[in-house]
């Protein structure tokens, strides 16, 4: 069985997932793979992932973890989304073996650049993984990137330029927000994906959450 948790070396404690092109899918996958008790949540807004509790009390979270092993928790937010949980992240860390946090949004686009207030990473976080959607390579910055003007600025490109592996790597490296990258949406082994990984300053994993395969690269 392909294990993304093993490929990404997920450790007990708090892991924050940022970026674009599969963050929620990665949370869902890690919730299924990780041993022990797992809490999925956000510091911003997410759609419910799997078994979900809205506005739960601490004891409700404890009981849900005993019953299900993995639970997504948060507070009421517009449009069917969940906001950050009522409980502090430090308490959630005591309740579960793993707390996987989604730390920003990307409006469903495969690439993104972060605004100054993003991402929202808990101070107790031990690991930050950035997801990048490989489907954005070859599309224009305008079409593929959330916050395209910022992305173009960081990439040294124009809005109508097609995104290259070099540009995507430049944005990730110049932001310097993560300790590891998951290049998602790679339907099959790709020289361009390998090139992107080789240009990064942090370890990278390539694969497809949808198709269920992954390979450590650099």
- Phi, psi dihedral angles at 187 (to 5 degrees): -70, -25
Domain of 11, CATH number, reads 3.40.50
In the chain, how many domains are there? 1
Within 13 Å and on the Cβ side, how many CA atoms surround 12?
Answer: 8
pLDDT tens string 110-142: 999 999 999 999 999 999 999 999 999 999 999
**Tokens 């949406």, located at residue:** 185
| pTM as predicted | 0.95
pLDDT tens-place string over residues 81-104 = 999 999 999 999 999 999 999 999
Residues 6+ apart with CB under 8 A from 51: 64, 68, 70, 71, 72
Would you list the DSSP string of 21-71?
Answer: SSHHHHHHHHHHHSSS-EEEEESS-B---SSEEES--HHHHHHHHHHHSEE
Domain containing residue 168: 4-216
């Amino acid at each position: 069985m392909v294990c993304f948790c093993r490929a990404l070396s997920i450790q007990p404690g708090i892991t924050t997932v940022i970026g674009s092109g599969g963050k929620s899918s990665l949370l869902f996958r890690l919730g299924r793979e990780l041993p022990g008790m797992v809490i999925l949540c956000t510091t911003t807004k997410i759609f419910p992932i799997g078994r979900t509790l809205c506005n739960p009390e601490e004891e409700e979270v404890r009981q849900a973890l005993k019953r299900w092993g993995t639970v997504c928790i948060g507070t009421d937010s517009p449009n069917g989304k969940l906001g950050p949980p009522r409980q502090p992240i430090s308490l959630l860390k005591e309740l579960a073996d793993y707390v996987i946090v989604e730390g920003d949004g990307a409006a469903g686009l495969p690439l993104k650049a972060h605004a100054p207030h993003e991402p929202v990473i808990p101070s107790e976080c031990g690991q930050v993984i950035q997801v990048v959607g490989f489907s954005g390579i070859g599309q224009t910055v305008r079409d593929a990137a959330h916050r395209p003007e910022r992305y173009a600025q960081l990439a040294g490109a124009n809005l109508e330029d097609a995104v290259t592996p070099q540009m995507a790597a430049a944005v990730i490296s110049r932001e310097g927000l993560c300790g590891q990258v998951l290049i998602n949406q790679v339907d099959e082994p790709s020289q361009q994906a390998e090139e992107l990984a080789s240009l990064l300053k942090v370890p990278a994993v390539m694969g497809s959450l949808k198709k269920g395969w992954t390979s450590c690269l650099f």
